[in-house]
A and B are shown apart, each in its own frame.
Chain A
């Protein structure tokens, strides 16, 4: 090998090396679309997703509409499909509105996951379920029934009548009440518009209108503190039980005062992280199997009903005793 050719060879191999490292530099881009931005729950999920993205070395885009709207989410999907991301994870507001964009994403070779709530008919590749809907709905009503002594009138406070996952939980709760707790009587369902104060006013009036009310299930993070405040101000602590799902930060005061005994939540940061990990797994074309080990998370648990659904964990039941053990960042 002459000097000349050796130099040529070196140059060629350097070039090859450069191309390869440039190829590896083109990292996977994962886009995450929450139901809406600027609220505590999805902000916490974002922090978890960012942490996982940094660990895995993927690029993360996390953005979404400022109102919980399915058509606005579709616009984000269109934008990201055009930009050519590798995977999109969406928490759909209106699951049935996704069919067109999911087909379009698949045609462009983009993986689509759902997280937080599902769109089973859209043909998505995977659903990351933070909690089994049925388990949560049933736990809530079982907890309430136990606190009410299995007997009496109860009411529902819900953020909106057409929020998909809240209403799924509500349906499971109502069905469970009918089947397992026949002595419970559902007397009213009120809409609270995701507003703590509005919820408080409505629940105060409700407790006055139904003086024998013994329990309230509140289905979102603002209805629960609203209901608690109403119970507290009406002087009905201990007489009206409240359960629901809310964040530790908002509930700490009430649970320590004993206004409510328990509420439920999962770690939204963990949900964000798990979604990113599974999206990476899909992009790498690695299989997702029941019981398989997912780096950084642990064993994957698939839903019995749907092999394309990963269940994160059981919801955590927060009580006076364990609330200080958890910090979800919200």
Chain B
């Protein structure tokens, strides 16, 4: 049976280099936490640092899980920040119309999931590279979010005010639980199901997938669909944790932190290799870098420099470590 051969040939559980990356990240997180521990002042609470990490990292992490599905196949989605903006606009309009909270939540998530699926469909239909289609989406959806808000709300003041506690439940009260749920589903699914590995197979060798009797375009579509479901959840948390939603600036630069978390986590940007666990560690690592910078009292002028250096050194060190092996593979 060709499929089972293919799945065995594509990376099984964790390849050695991926395992090393996960260790490196885990070590990095321990070091960062240690650094924060050293910088604690009397009255600061270390438990607080840990307790806040989950809820704060939730949108990036959950969107990262979705992005991991997409990057597995060798595709990428650059438009997620603008998709969050459209979801925010839809949510704002629903709230403005006075719809019940559950329907507003549903509309928000469904919009995000739908647009991600639409990205997949467009890639299928036009056969254009995903980076191009989603780069276009990055601009197009931002415009869509603004046009929606402007045409649905007379004399739109530039933002939606979200009043009341009920509308903020997913973002302010339950993000930790939602995160836990998403993480458990993702990791458990990766361990048992075969779909994630078919995505990886597509990313590592499209021709082989085709010869195994699976339509590559449908595999790609399913990755964007599942990625969209994760993004829908992430959007919901993102949108409901702020009191005012500005479609023009909501989630600006979100795609960079999400893709950053995914590739830090060892997922190959060209597809075919990676793990949800890596994305989870990557997102936490980035979060704790930001925290440590504040605890270590680094001036705001230098924070970006250090963040950039840290990202580059983790990935650079990893790539340098495996460079020889990769070259050999390339030439073999």
Interface residues of A (CB under 8 A from B): 37-41, 43-44, 47, 66, 161, 188-191, 193-197, 200-202, 204-206, 208-212, 222, 225, 229, 233, 249-250, 253, 329-330
Contacts and interface: CB of A to CB of B under 8 A. Distances in A.
B243 A229 contact: yes
B192 interface: no
B242 A197 contact: yes
A104 to B, nearest CB: 30
B273 interface: no
B42 A211 contact: yes
A197 B244 CA distance: 10
A188 B244 contact: no
Given A211-B41, A330-B158, A250 B243 contact: yes
Contacts of A190: 294, 300
A197 B241 contact: yes
Interface stretch (B45-53, B130-138, B227-235): B45-53
Contacts of A329: 155, 157
Contact of A39 (B42, B158, B242): B158
A135 to B, nearest CB: 26
B154 to A, nearest CB: 12
Contacts of B252: 193, 195
Contacts of B2: none
Contact of B244 (A161, A196, A233): A196
B118 interface: no
B71 to A, nearest CB: 25
B308 interface: no
6 contacts: A38-B158, A197-B242, A201-B290, A212-B43, A225-B243, A250-B161
Given A208-B49, A211-B41, A330-B158, 18 more contacts: A38-B247, A39-B248, A40-B158, A47-B155, A188-B294, A189-B299, A189-B300, A190-B294, A196-B244, A205-B52, A209-B297, A211-B42, A212-B43, A222-B246, A249-B159, A249-B244, A250-B161, A329-B157
A208 B45 contact: yes
B111 interface: no
Contact of B301 (A161, A200, A202): A161
B44 A208 contact: yes
- Complex A-B, nearest 8 residue pairs according to Cβ-Cβ distance, in ascending order: A211-B43, A40-B158, A38-B248, A43-B158, A196-B242, A209-B295, A205-B294, A191-B300
Interface in B155-197: 155-159, 161, 163, 172
A205 B295 contact: yes
Interface centre among B49, B156, B246, B297 (most CB of A within 10 A): B246
B294 A206 contact: yes
B157 A43 contact: yes
A195 B45 CA distance: 25
B249 A39 contact: yes
Nearest to B150: A38
Interface of B: 39, 41-45, 48-49, 52, 56, 146, 155-159, 161, 163, 172, 238, 241-244, 246-249, 252-253, 290-291, 294-295, 297, 299-301, 303
Nearest to A189: B300
Contacts of A40: 157-159, 246
A211 B42 CA distance: 8
Contacts of B290: 201, 205
Contact of A205 (B157, B172, B291, B303): B291
A66 B244 contact: no
Contacts of B163: 253
Nearest to A205: B294
Contacts of A43: 156-158
B52 A195 contact: no
A223 to B, nearest CB: 12
Contact of B297 (A44, A188, A211, A250): A188
Contacts of B156: 43
A209 B39 contact: yes
B161 A202 contact: no
Contacts of B242: 196-197
Nearest to B246: A39
Nearest to A252: B161
Nearest to A209: B295
Nearest to B251: A195
Contact of B248 (A66, A193, A212, A253): A66
Which one of B48, B252, B291, B300 has the greatest number of beta carbons of chain A within 10 Å?
B300
